[in-house]
Amino acid sequence: MRITNKTLSNNFLADMQRNLENLSRVQQQVSSTKNFSKPSDDPINVERAMQLQSSVNYTTQYGSNIKTANTWMETTDTTLGQIGTVLSNIRNNLEQAGGVYTQDEKDKINDAVSQEVQQIASLLNTNFQGEYIFGGTAGLSKPITTTTDANGIVTLQYADKDGNAVDNLSTVASQNFDITHWGGKKVTFNLLKSDGTVSKTMSPDISSDAKSLDDVVENLNKEIQNNSDFRDKINVVKTNDGNVKFIAVNSSDNITISSDISDLSSVSGKQLSNMAMENIGADKNIEISQGVVLTYNATASNIMQYGNDYNTTSGDSINALMDRIQHHLAGQVMRYTDSNNNPITSSTPGAVLVTVKNDDGTTTSKYGVWTKDANSENDAKKELIGQDLTDIDAASKKVLQVRSEIGAKEKRMSDLSTQNAASITDLKEVLSKTEDIDVTQKTIEYYTSITVYQACLQTGGKVIQPTLLDYIR
């Protein structure tokens, strides 16, 4: 085959371009310290690097979540400890009041207890990074407010987003939901007036075609929205454990439920909890690793409620207990009959509906009035060193239980933080091996490329024939 000067020139130019491209590639790798700058450089490793970078980003975000939750729980733990100290102080005051003290001295103790109650409210309204830590998902507003009556009794109350007092009621939900019990049945809702009489009633039918929990929830919500008297007053939702839950939308509405459905037998006749309390008592969750979600908050309602009685005066809650203690320190007791031995009714001035425990373990609801009479001081003293001490121990135990749960989660978060940091280090190491250059190797390769390119130029100078222009120069 005949080799012409043009062939030599073309081959030389092609080789020189290839060497120049190789030099440019190595130079770019050395300057950027990366093996590739675009997908076409190394498609397989580019895809792998992108996946690894995504994993690093996700894991870093999980680390940030862990740090946020851990700091939140540290604040919660500290605050719960302070609440426990306040309850201990109140207990000490009760023990003092149970001694040989005059009513004037008890009044001074009562003043101290009132201040401690205010402190409990302040602690339950602790704010961290713009959110109230015990406010559940309603963390932008204070969960607790206080009122003081004419006698100086300080009452703790839950508050909605507008600061209005709301009652904490037990959850109204089905038990062991079974779809076969619901088809063709009715659920009755009664909207009550302030005096407890029924104002409006509706009994939505549940379609016999309902095949699942979702069908029942959808059916009931549709029926409620179609009723002008109850529209936007009741919300029916599905719980995480697969039951039906009923919630009053407005805290001002007193709505009761009744039904012959066996799954609702335990809540029939009860008042629906309101949306404001649902939000205050709601869990705050955060994702700490792929598919792993942790509840990291404690709620005011969980801390305050140490038993099953939700009555605002006689109930098993810190707010009801503080109210009772202050009345007892003032020498007052709850009486269920007046001076003529007539039963207290809802129309009696100062009457409150309370839950009374019977000797057989059952409970009865009746009206009572805080009274100060000839025997009330001794009766109040018995309550202070008896049931009140028992209840404050139960309240302290509940606070300690919540604090223990938070502490256990803190320990877990500490371990997860260490694990997360190690995962990020491992991922970045693998990512570095995938996309970063070996500096020593690439430096050698770079200088080799320069040598090759310079040799190419020198070879070309000898291969290409001189032209007339070379002689003219």
For the stretch 275-311, pLDDT in tens is 988 899 999 999 988 888 999 999 999 999 999 888 8
Q: Which residue has the tokens 């005096």?
A: 195
Can you give the pLDDT at residue 116? 95
∠ Cα 192 321 344 (to 5°) = 50
Nearest to 377 by CA among 341, 339, 330: 330
Can you give the pLDDT at residue 472? 65
Structure tokens at 85: 């100290």
Q: Find the Cα–Cα–Cα–Cα dihedral 160, 280, 228, 257, rounded to 10°.
A: -120
Angstrom distance (rounded) from CA 1 to CA 436: 47
Burial class (CB in 10 A: 0-12, 13-18, 19+), 354: buried
CB 104 within 8 A of CB 96: no
Can you give the pLDDT at residue 89? 95
∠ Cα 238 244 248 (to 5°) = 90
Can you give the pLDDT at residue 98? 80
CB 293 within 8 A of CB 262: no
Any alpha helices (H) in 98-190, and if so which ranges?
103-124
Nearest to 434 by CA among 107, 9, 41: 41
CB 78 within 8 A of CB 85: no
153-189, pLDDT tens digit by residue?
A: 999 999 988 888 888 888 899 999 999 999 888 999 9
Can you give the pLDDT at residue 162? 86
Beta bridge partner(s), residue 166: 158
Q: Max CA-CA distance within the chain?
A: 139
Nearest to 236 by CA among 220, 251, 249, 250: 220
290 in helix, strand or coil?
A: coil
Structure tokens at 383: 């309550």
Burial class (CB in 10 A: 0-12, 13-18, 19+), 343: exposed
Nearest to 241 by CA among 311, 189, 171: 171
Can you give the pLDDT at residue 376? 87
Angstrom distance (rounded) from CA 46 to CA 52: 10
What is the Cα 289 distance to its own chain's centre? 17
Structure tokens at 324: 């009772």
161 in helix, strand or coil?
A: coil
In single-letter form, the type of residue at position 412 comes to R
Can you give the pLDDT at residue 404? 96
- H or E stretch at 65: helix 43-97
CB 227 within 8 A of CB 234: no
278 in helix, strand or coil?
A: helix
Can you give the pLDDT at residue 388? 93
Angstrom distance (rounded) from CA 28 to CA 35: 9
Q: Give the DSSP letter string of 338-403.
A: -TTSPBP-TTSTT-EEEEEE-TTS-EEEEEEEEE--TTHHHHHHHHHHTHHHHHHHHHHHHHHHHH
Structure tokens at 246: 């009923």
CB 116 within 8 A of CB 90: yes
Can you give the pLDDT at residue 368? 92
Low-confidence ranges of the chain (pLDDT < 70): 1-2, 5, 37, 41, 438, 461-473
Can you give the pLDDT at residue 242? 92
266 in helix, strand or coil?
A: coil
Q: Residue 205: which region, alpha, beta or left (left: phi > 0; alpha: psi -120 to 50)? A: beta
CB 59 within 8 A of CB 429: no
